């Protein structure tokens, strides 16, 4: 009987330890970059080129993450990329003439959407669209331009 | 020539037969599992203790040093690019997605898998299984199913513990000894690890747990009932488990990517 008890206690401790390890992994090693809010509203924006922006990418304002991209699709009517993202409802006073640009965190980091506040009195709300957008900077295009420019300056 | 063709034919036939018997054996274990876990939970708890709780020491010690060496290697190479701050990310990704499940599985096969197959093999060699059948007790249900379930339940816990202790080991080496900023270490890790990475580790650990426990129980049950046969079954358990785990790891990674 005594032996059964110690086995049961050992097993209980082991399972508890396993569960807490799993809990630690899921809560403590993830989530810093993720955005989670109970209430959000949806905003869309159109870009000429989204670069390598993916869904779940952060949406930041002044460097603080306030939302997350939910979908990136190509719109066959306007021939542009349509990006839909959600913003935490607590930030409900973002002017509707704010501009959205696709930025890169660090030199080789992942891409995110940066919002720059505008001056309008009308705020973004569920379903509104950001009209002022700036496409992602594609490194290859930049290098291409640079090469073309330096070539022509040599000829002069 | 005809003898050779016949030999090849027989060996292919034998292989297919064994493979089929293996699948049926798996089904038999699965069929008995739900009722056993409800009616005789004590048997399963005993086996979780044997395979899981008693493997804790080896898992934790190995986890600590695997995490530590990962931290050292990652730091040494990232420092060349002034990217020491990403050490945490590298270590955590490697541990959670790959090394945690795989190394735990290999250790588990060596520590618990061999114990299972030699125990069952010896029971068979000493006619304990036949004696049970005489008493109208189904040895598959009474002996094999609890051991199988114990391994399947213990394995994900062991992997989670291994990964956690590994992260702690990396913390000790990288933050305490190499003086990387503690905030950068954990914050960069959090920023780049997502829940799906952890799920990948969990899926892998469940798959490995099933495969190793199944192989160990199967090898023990089908061991030739002699001292040599039991020894051979134990060896085969480790060898086949290791191969199966590494192949399965590749396949799961390819699917999850």
pLDDT tens per residue, range B49-101: 999 999 999 999 999 999 999 999 999 998 888 888 888 889 999 999 999 99
> pLDDT, tens digit, for every residue of B210-256?
999 999 999 999 999 999 999 999 999 999 999 999 999 999 999 88
Cα gap B35→B37, rounded to integer Å = 6
Distance from the Cα of A100 to chain B's closest Cα (Å) equals: 22
Strands A111-116 and A129-130: unpaired
What are all long-range contacts of B29-36, with beta carbons under 8 Å and residues at least 24 apart? B29/B140, B29/B144, B29/B145, B29/B148, B29/B214, B29/B217, B32/B138, B32/B140, B32/B141, B32/B145, B33/B145, B33/B148, B33/B149, B36/B141, B36/B145, B36/B146, B36/B149
**Of residues B215, B102, B216, B111, the one with CA closest to residue B162:** B102
Domain ranges in chain B? 41-256
What's the pLDDT at A34?
55
Nearest-by-CA chain A residue for B158: A18
Q: State how far the Cα of B104 lies from the Cα of B119, in Å rounded to an integer.
A: 21
- For chain A, what are the domain ranges? 1-30, 40-137
Best mutation target, A1, A6, A22, to test chain B (most B CBs within 10 A): A22
Q: How many residues belong to chain A?
A: 156
- pLDDT given for residue B131 in this prediction: 93
In this predicted structure, the answer to whether residue A154 has a pLDDT above a threshold of 70 is no
Whole-angstrom Cα Rg for chain B? 22
In this predicted structure, what is the pLDDT of residue B202?
Answer: 93
pTM (two decimals)? 0.77
Instruction: Please report the number of interchain residue pairs, chain A to chain B, with beta-carbon separation below 8 angstroms.
Output: 78
Q: Cα–Cα distance between B201 and B161 in angstroms, integer?
A: 12
Binding-site residues on chain A for chain B (CB distance < 8 A)? 4, 7-8, 10-11, 13-15, 17-19, 21-22, 24-26, 28-34, 56
The per-residue pLDDT for range A92-136, each reduced to its tens digit, is 888 988 889 888 876 666 788 899 888 888 888 888 888 888 888
**Using CA atoms, how far apart are residues B152 and A142, in angstroms rounded to an integer?**
54
Residues 6+ apart with CB under 8 A from A104: A51, A110, A111, A112, A136, A137
- When pLDDT is cut at 50, 70 and 90, the band that residue A151 belongs to is low
Contacts (Cβ under 8 Å, ≥6 apart) of B180: B75, B84, B85, B87, B88, B174
Question: Are B42 and A29 inside 8 Å of each other by CB?
Answer: no
Min Cα distance B234 → chain A (Å) is 25
The rounded distance, in Å, linking the Cα atoms of B159 and B161 is 5
Find the angle CA(B33)-CA(B38)-CA(B43) to the nearest 5 degrees: 75
CA B233, CA B114: separation in Å to the nearest integer? 9
What single DSSP character describes residue B138?
Answer: -
Average per-residue pLDDT in chain B?
A: 91
Of all residues in chain A, the one with the smallest CA distance to B197 is A30
Sheet holding A132-134, edge to edge: A129-130, A40-47, A80-88, A64-75, A58-61, A111-116, A99-104, A132-134
Chain B residues within 8 Å of chain A (Cβ atoms): 42, 45-46, 48-49, 52-53, 56, 92, 96, 154, 156-158, 160-161, 163-164, 167, 186-187, 189-195, 197-198, 201-202
Q: Do A17 and B45 touch (CB under 8 A)?
A: no
State CA B235 to chain mean position distance.
16
Distance (Å) from the C-alpha of residue B53 to the closest C-alpha of chain A? 5
Contact A18 B198 (CB under 8 A): no
In tens, the pLDDT along A23-61 reads: 888 887 776 555 666 788 999 999 888 888 877 788 888
B136 secondary structure, DSSP code: T
Q: Which chain B residues are closer than 8 Å to A57 by Cβ?
A: none
Please state, in angstroms and rounded to a whole number, the distance separating the CA atoms of residues A89 and A115: 16
The ipTM (two decimal places) reads 0.78
* Contact residues, chain B, for A11 at CB < 8 Å: 45-46, 48-49, 52-53
The shortest CB-CB distance from B189 to any of A4, A8, A29 is to: A29
What number of other Cβ atoms are within 10 A of residue B226's Cβ?
A: 11
Half-sphere exposure of A43 (CA within 13 A, CB side): 29
């Amino acid at each position: 009987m005594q032996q059964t008890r110690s086995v049961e206690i050992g097993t209980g401790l082991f399972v508890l330890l396993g569960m807490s390890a799993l809990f630690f992994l899921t809560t403590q090693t993830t989530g810093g970059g993720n955005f989670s809010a109970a209430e959000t509203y949806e905003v869309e924006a159109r870009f000429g080129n989204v670069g390598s922006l993916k869904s779940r990418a952060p949406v930041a304002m002044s460097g603080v993450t306030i939302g997350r991209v939910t979908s990136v699709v190509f719109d066959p009517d306007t021939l542009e990329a349509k990006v839909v993202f959600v913003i935490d409802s607590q930030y409900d006073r973002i002017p509707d003439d704010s501009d959205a640009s696709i930025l890169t965190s660090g030199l080789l980091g992942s891409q995110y959407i940066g919002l720059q506040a505008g001056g309008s009195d009308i705020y973004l709300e569920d379903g509104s669209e950001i009209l002022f957008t700036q496409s992602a900077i594609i490194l290859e295009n930049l290098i291409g331009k640079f090469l073309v420019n330096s070539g022509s300056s040599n000829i002069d | 020539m005809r003898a050779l063709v016949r030999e090849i034919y027989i060996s292919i036939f034998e292989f297919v037969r064994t493979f089929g018997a293996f699948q049926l054996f798996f089904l038999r274990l699965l069929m008995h599992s739900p009722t056993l876990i409800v009616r005789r939970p004590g048997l399963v708890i005993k086996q979780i203790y044997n395979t899981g709780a008693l493997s804790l020491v080896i898992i934790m010690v190995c986890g600590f040093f695997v995490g530590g060496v990962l931290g050292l290697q990652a730091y040494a190479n990232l420092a060349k690019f002034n990217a020491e701050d990403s050490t945490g990310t590298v270590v955590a990704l490697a541990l959670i997605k790959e090394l945690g499940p795989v190394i735990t599985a290999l250790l588990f096969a060596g520590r618990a898998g061999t114990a299972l197959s030699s125990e069952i093999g010896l029971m068979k060699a000493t006619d304990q299984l036949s004696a049970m059948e005489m008493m109208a007790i189904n040895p598959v249900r009474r002996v094999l199913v609890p051991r199988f379930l114990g391994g399947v339940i213990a394995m994900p816990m062991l992997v989670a513990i291994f990964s956690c202790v590994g992260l702690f080991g990396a913390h000790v080496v990288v933050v305490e000894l190499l003086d990387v900023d503690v905030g950068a270490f954990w914050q960069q890790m959090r920023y780049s690890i997502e829940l799906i990475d952890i799920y990948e580790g969990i899926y892998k650990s469940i798959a490995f747990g099933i495969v190793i426990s199944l192989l160990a129980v199967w090898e023990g049950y089908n061991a030739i009932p002699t001292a040599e046969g039991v020894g051979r079954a134990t060896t085969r358990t480790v060898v086949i488990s290791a191969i199966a785990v590494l192949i399965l790891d590749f396949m799961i990674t390819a699917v999850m990517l």
